[in-house]
Amino acid sequence: MRIKSLQVRARVTVEGFLRGLHRSPYHGFSVEFSEYREYTPGDDPRYLDWRLFARSDRYFIKRFEDETNLRCYLVLDTSRSMGYRSAGYSKGEYARTLAATIAYFLSTQRDAVGLLTFEDRITEYLPPRHRPGHLRRLMGLLEREPAGKATDLAGPLEQIAATVRKRGLVILISDLLAPIGTFQKRLGYLRSRGHDVVVLRIVDPAEADFRFETSAMFRDAESGREIYVDPASARAAYLRRFAAHAEQIKQACVDLGIEYESITTDTPLELVLFDLLKARMRRSRRPNRGMGAGRGGGGAR
Amino acid sequence: MSFLAPLYILGGLAIAAPIIFHLIRRTPSGEVPFSSLMFLDPSPPRLSKRSRLDQILLLLLRAAALALLAFAFARPFLRAKAQVEANGETSTRERIALLVDTSASMRRGDLWTRAKALASQLIDEVRPGDAFAVFTFDNGSRTVLGFEESATLDPRQRLEIARTRLNALQPSWASTQLGQALVDVVTAINDVVDAGERGGNVPRRVILIGDLQQGSRTDALGEFEWPSDVVLDLKPVADDGSNAGIHGLADAPGVAADPEAETSLRVRVSNDYGTRDSFTLTWAGEEGIPLKGETPTPAYVPPGESRVIRVPRPKGTQARADAFSKRSPRLVLGGDQRDFDNTLYLAEKSREEATVLYLGSDADDKIDDPNGLLYYVRRAFVDTPRRRVKVVAQAPASAVNWPPNTPPALVIVAGEVGSPNAARLRDYVQQGGTLLNVLNAPGKVETSATVAGVPPWTTTEARVGRDVILGEIAFDHPLFAPFAAPQFNDFTKIHFWKYRKLDPAKLGEGARVLAKFEKGDPAIIEKSAGKGRLLVMASGWSPADSQLARSSKFAPLLTSLSEGNGGTPLVEGNLVIGDRVPLPASGVDPSKPRVIRKPDGTRVTLASAETTFAGTDQPGLYVLETSAGDRPFAVNLDPLESRVAPLHVETLEQLGCRLAKPTREQAPDPEQLRQLQNSELEGRQKYWRWLVLAAIAFLIAETWLSGRLSSTRSTTRTAHAEAMAS
């Protein structure tokens, strides 16, 4: 994390990875010709093949294989709890780097990447595009510091479900430190809309094992509430509850066929990306209820 | 040792708090931010199982501070010590000021005897421990026995002294300034610092003995905030309150003279209260003996009303002011029980006849020539209710003459009068006359030389360019003093076309230049000769000479010159006891002391610098003896003093006085009394102050110690951390 620029950081991580993870089920504007189709009113006249018309006096539409229109939504938690760090860097920095890496990676293969940041409400929304300068804007948004006071998981997911009509890939990056509540239900909405959903949970090592020695006033990063905690006596209960919470989330994801990954911030980013891609390739080979991962023949080019 | 509020000792239980805090192991080493507390529960504080206490010294300091505070709030005091101090006397001490009315209304009946008896009785009630003082008042308050003097005396002795001094007093003739007297006494009673009290709460009481008449002036109390700890105890000595009084009425200034003023006099008779309604007004001479041949004037005044009565002047004095004054008359009201206010003294106030003699060449044939001097002299004098001026003109050469004892107030000479007349005028000036010589033509000056007693000299016409104005004027001289104020002292509009050159040295020793022209030549020179004075003017007021006659200064100047000899009453209106009498500045020889003769025959010599006389302490006819003759003035009682009906007590209460409860309080409950004693003892000893101070000291020590301990702890911790890092 010594590299300041998110874009460079993302590029360094992505270099060396294979390109071309999927094929789009849509036909788009590409160099790779797919088929001709007879013109029907309502088709875009731009794609009329005038040469064929000259030859045959019939209207045909030229169709190309579309590789670039995977719509990926990076849903990033920027609440203040993400600012927690026990060593090195915070969950927020880690999550932003991860998001930047994924965005860069996808944009190198001409996919449209959008960003949605949230805390207790949605703070930023950048629709998925693939345009010059879009990635830079996205990086700019990512570089903002987390400022939110609380985490609300349900709201952003509901918003995506309501606004995004086109099926795509939704990657939720959060510490998921909030009551489960309607979380599962909202994920269900997304799945039912046909989105492919990946949940990446970022966990600080200190949160996972709660290795505090001295008793102190513990201050909640989000609400500012303080309570006196003696770690020696509180540790067991904490670990039990933490594990139960994690299990609940995992179970919810498994039930919905959602890919769930818990990542501690001391894990190298390359490994995370590698695991992610490996898992996606594994998924894309098998029949899937979701459409986002492309057709069965999709794979590394 | 006893406590005033022993329950506060329970506050000492708060000592347990620092001990419990010390035992709690909860030593949160700062604050740990954590991402979310959703999986955490607050840990309950645990008591240390260690039997040893940390920071014993700190704990002791905190506990001691708390204990001292609790102790201080319990208000401890030492009973034994207090009993020694009290020395057997009763503990309820008081500070008492006795205030006795000595105003003129106390002269009626046996009021004064009763007041003294009452005062004596009250003095007997004073206990040895009380602070005690005696004051009297009429139109001012006086200290008979002050608190400071009383504190230095033996308790029995001071009562005797107070009684003796009170017995020696007599009521004065002055009015009743009750309000100011109360303010003074309350200030005195609050100002006194009694070492024995140590600021404790001593009851303060002002006992007022007097007739509490309605004529008392209480307006001073209106602006005074009566202290909450001073009680006013009223001890009125009153009779039935019936009284009638007589008061002179002043002529309203500016109103034309009363046509009947020469033959009669207006007085007001007021009947304050009572059953009588018929009175008589009688002229009396010295010693109050009625003048022979004068018939009393009846007056009917219903109770509670006042009437203005016209009384004929005594026979033989009508139209003759001097005759009136010489008989020293007074008007006595008959038919009233209380005679202290039944005499009205009168100084003559009738119109004065003055003569101005003009000797000039324009006197004879050209009577009304506006180019001459006489034309303006005739018009300069205006008749006033007080004074009528007659201008007599005659040729300079004709022999001057006037009736014996009535010399002219002013002689104006324009031109040379010849040696017989000059000698006559010299005598006139020597006996106190004023001579104004106007040099309206150059030539030999003989008249003035003769009057001044110097050889004759010759004047020449001065060379004047276009015109000349007065440059330097002696505004400190009585002649010009009325013009000294900035709105009047502009003489620059008076232009002179011609004047004669004058040399003050020619007039000999003592000549003073009163005004100079702008070139420095003298315009007016004054020289005293004998009792009178001579003034020489270098220019006249005829239009050929100057604009003086047409300026607003001319008439006042001539009037001032003609009034210089006195003979007029000192003041307009009525003087009452205690008034300051303004003394006239003009016509007074500064080298001779002025003397005032009081009605009882005593003589008061006034310093020359004094402008007022304040010693009017008895009613009657006062006489100011001046070099120019006696000038009488009458001083009477304050009309308010005649209103002797009792003052309503509510009036004083409305003015903010805290009146003592009229009934004696019940004997206090012994338990309550003990409580009162305790609180007074405690109030005197005030140990709680020292305890609070000690508690503060302990807290300061605690702060310092804990600051030091925490700083050493943090330095050792840093050192430890550095060692670990390296």
| pLDDT single digits (tens) B216-270 | 888 888 888 888 888 888 888 877 767 888 887 765 444 444 556 666 778 888 8
Q: Which of A221, A228, A241 sits opposite B42 (nearest CB)?
A: A228
Q: Is pLDDT larger for residue B53 or for residue B634?
A: B634
Least confident range of A151-160, B363-372, B385-394, B648-657: B363-372
CATH architecture for residues B243-347:
Sandwich (2.60)
Tell me what pLDDT residue B697 has. 93
Tell me what pLDDT residue B597 has. 85
Question: What CA dihedral angle connects B4, B10, B16 and B18, to 10 degrees?
Answer: -40
Tell me what pLDDT residue A290 has. 38
The domain locations on chain B are: 2-28+45-77+686-725, 95-238+649-662, 243-347, 352-563, 575-636
Partner B contacted by A47 (CB < 8 A): no
Angle between helices A6-14 and A134-142 (to 10 degrees): 110
Rounded to 5 degrees, φ, ψ at A199 are -110, 120
Q: With an 8 Å Cβ cutoff, are B34 and A220 in contact?
A: yes
Interval B91-117 mean pLDDT: 84
Cα–Cα distance, B208 to B225 (Å, whole number): 18
CA atoms within 13 A on the CB side of B54: 13
Q: Which residues between 308 and 327 in chain B have a beta carbon less than 8 angstroms from any beta carbon of chain A?
A: none
Tell me what pLDDT residue B319 has. 47
What domains does chain A contain, in order, with CATH numbers? 6-19+68-285 (3.40.50.410), 27-65 (no CATH)
pLDDT in tens, A75-106: 888 888 888 888 778 888 889 888 988 888 88
Residue B316 φ/ψ region, left for φ over 0, alpha for ψ in the -120 to 50 degree band, beta for the rest: left
Q: Return the structure tokens found at A141.
A: 């948004």
Length of chain B: 726
Tokens 């930023």 -> residue = A124
Partner A contacted by B39 (CB < 8 A): yes
Average pLDDT of chain A to the nearest whole number: 77
Average pLDDT of chain B to the nearest whole number: 80
Tell me what pLDDT residue A10 has. 62
Contact list in A for residue B721 (CB cut-off 8 A) is: none
Whether the Cβ atoms of residue B272 and residue B643 lie closer than 8 Å to each other: yes
CATH tag for B352-563 (out of 3.50.50.60, 3.20.20.70, 3.40.50.880, 3.90.850.10): 3.40.50.880
pLDDT for residue B694 is more than 90:
yes
For the ranges B73-87, B101-115, B393-407, the maximum mean pLDDT occurs at: B101-115
B352-563 matches B95-238+649-662 in CATH topology = yes
Tell me what pLDDT residue B569 has. 47
Tell me what pLDDT residue A3 has. 53
Contact list in A for residue B45 (CB cut-off 8 A) is: 228
Neighbours of A181 (CB within 10 A): 11
pLDDT band of residue B535 (cuts 50, 70, 90) is very high
Interval B419-424 mean pLDDT: 87
Tell me what pLDDT residue B524 has. 92
Q: With an 8 Å Cβ cutoff, are B33 and A221 in contact?
A: yes
Least confident range of A53-67, A88-102, B209-223, B445-459: A53-67
> Residue B392: beta bridge partners?
B357
What letter does residue B660 receive in the DSSP assignment?
P
Tokens 């009057």 -> residue = B451
pLDDT in tens, A19-32: 444 444 455 555 55
pLDDT band of residue B84 (cuts 50, 70, 90) is very low
Whether the Cβ atoms of residue B146 and residue B96 lie closer than 8 Å to each other: no
Cα–Cα distance, A30 to A110 (Å, whole number): 11
Q: With an 8 Å Cβ cutoff, are A218 and B32 in contact?
A: yes
Which residue type does B112 have?
W
Tell me what pLDDT residue A20 has. 44
pLDDT band of residue B87 (cuts 50, 70, 90) is very low
Which of A93, A226, A248, A249 to mutate to probe the B interface, most B CBs <10 Å? A226
Least confident range of A212-226, A234-248, A252-266, B343-357: B343-357
Cα–Cα distance, A250 to A257 (Å, whole number): 10
Under CATH, to which class is B95-238+649-662 assigned?
Answer: alpha beta
Could you tell me the pTM of the whole model?
0.45
pLDDT for residue A15 is more than 80:
no
Q: At a CB cut-off of 8 Å and minimum separation 6, what does B382 contact?
A: B555
Partner A contacted by B609 (CB < 8 A): no
Interval A284-291 mean pLDDT: 44
pLDDT for residue B322 is more than 60:
no
Q: Which of B28, B35, B45 sits opposite A217 (nearest CB)?
A: B28
The share of chain B scoring above pLDDT 70, in percent, equals 82
Whether the Cβ atoms of residue A277 and residue A217 lie closer than 8 Å to each other: no
> Residue B695: beta bridge partners?
none
pLDDT for residue A151 is more than 90:
no
Rounded to 5 degrees, φ, ψ at B536 are -120, 125
Interval A164-190 mean pLDDT: 83
Contact list in A for residue B38 (CB cut-off 8 A) is: 177-179, 241
